[in-house]
């Protein structure tokens, strides 16, 4: 029997391991997806890879699955953070979803001088990351960090983590190649709809570990820029190369 539904669970997975379902998961499996006892589901927890499991108990408010066999080993993404300024709700959701699909290890929202977004809800964005991992077949879910101010993020920055600074002020300049850059921990910095301020731009440009690049001959929306920058990095330094 093929298992087409994937669920992220916060529970150990292993041969014969039973996995309890919370009320929301039970409602999704048994009421929304109409899965009966005996149905098979794919499970992952970000640590033990992916496992095929069988519904051993099905109820309106809960249930239980039993792991049958491992179907994928844990595949960790490259050590890449996406640091971005939240924008409008739907576009911020898009950034988190695509960052998860494209292999970010950590997603770091940041408050810049020109950040102009509504209320920030970390738990909701973390749920979007979980859903994206369930849909794309990933076995790892990146952490969505609490939003921090730009200056605070850089004040405690580990110098071994290089920064790819997507600078909209370089839009008319020739693209910069990453071919000579080294692998290892990196972070991509994406500004808000109004871009980085002059002070923030000067601060990033003055860091020896930062590489400033344009993203083509046109200024991109923040959500498009995040996808473009991750694509460039993954093709040269990530697990797409």
Q: What is the mean pLDDT of the chain?
A: 94
Using an 8 Å Cβ cutoff, are 162 and 186 in contact?
yes
Could you tell me which residues come within 8 angstroms of residue 203 by beta carbon, excluding any fewer than 6 positions away? 154
- The per-residue pLDDT for 118 is 66
Average pLDDT over residues 56-84: 95
Residue 180 pLDDT grade (very low, low, confident, very high; cuts 50, 70, 90): confident
Report the C-alpha gap between 18 and 82 in whole angstroms. 35
> What is the C-alpha to C-alpha distance for residues 200 and 123, in angstroms, rounded to an integer?
28
Question: Could you tell me the pLDDT band of residue 51, with boundaries at 50, 70 and 90?
Answer: very high
Determine the longest span between alpha carbons in the chain, in angstroms: 61
Q: Length of the chain in residues, anyone?
A: 241
d(CA 50, CA 190): 32
pLDDT tens, residue by residue, 82-131: 999 999 999 999 999 999 999 999 999 999 999 987 678 999 999 999 99
Gap between the Cα atoms of 212 and 219, Å rounded:
15
**Burial letters for 15-28: b for 16+ Cβ neighbours within 10 Å, e otherwise?**
eebebebeeebbbe
What stretch of H or E contains 51? Answer: strand 50-58
DSSP 90-150: HHHHHHHHHHHHHT-SEEEEEE-TT---S---HHHHHHHHHHHHHHHT-S---EEPPPEEH
Are domains 6-72 and 80-237 of this chain identical in fold?
no
Q: Give the fold, CATH level 3, of 6-72.
A: Ribosomal Protein L25; Chain P (2.40.240)
Distance (Å, rounded) from C-alpha 222 to C-alpha 150?
Answer: 16
Token reading at 132: 């994206």
**CA dist 182 to 162, 207, 225, 231, Å?**
9, 16, 22, 17
CATH class of 80-237: alpha beta
**195-213 average pLDDT score:** 96
* Predicted local confidence at residue 173, as pLDDT: 76
Arithmetic mean of pLDDT, 183-193: 95
pLDDT band, residue 239 (cuts 50/70/90): very high
| pLDDT of amino acid 1 | 59
How far apart are the C-alpha atoms of 20 and 22, rounded to whole Å?
Answer: 7
d(CA 212, CA 190): 11
Q: Domain extents for the chain? A: 6-72, 80-237
Residue with tokens 């369930």: 134
pLDDT exceeds 70 at position 222 = yes
């Amino acid at each position: 029997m093929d298992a087409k539904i994937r669920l992220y669970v916060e529970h150990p997975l292993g041969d014969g391991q039973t996995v309890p379902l919370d009320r929301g998961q039970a409602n999704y499996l048994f009421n929304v997806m109409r899965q009966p006892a005996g149905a098979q589901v794919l499970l992952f927890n970000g640590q033990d890879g992916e496992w095929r499991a069988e519904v051993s108990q099905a109820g309106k408010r809960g249930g239980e699955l039993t792991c049958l066999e491992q179907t994928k080993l844990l595949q960790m993404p490259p050590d890449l953070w996406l640091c971005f300024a939240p924008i409008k709700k739907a576009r911020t959701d898009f950034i988190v979803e695509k960052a998860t699909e494209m292999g970010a290890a950590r997603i770091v929202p940041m408050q810049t001088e020109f950040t102009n977004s509504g209320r920030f809800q970390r738990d909701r964005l973390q749920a979007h990351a979980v859903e994206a991992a369930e849909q794309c077949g990933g076995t790892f879910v990146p952490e969505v960090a609490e939003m921090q101010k730009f200056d605070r993020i850089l004040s405690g920055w580990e110098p071994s983590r290089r920064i790819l600074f997507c600078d909209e002020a370089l839009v008319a300049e020739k693209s910069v190649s990453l071919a000579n850059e080294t692998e290892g921990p990196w972070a991509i910095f994406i500004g808000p709809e109004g871009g980085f301020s002059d002070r923030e731009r000067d601060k990033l440009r003055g860091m020896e570990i930062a590489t400033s690049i344009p993203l083509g001959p046109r200024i991109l929306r923040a959500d498009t820029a995040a996808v473009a920058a991750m694509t460039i990095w993954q093709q040269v330094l990530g697990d797409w190369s």
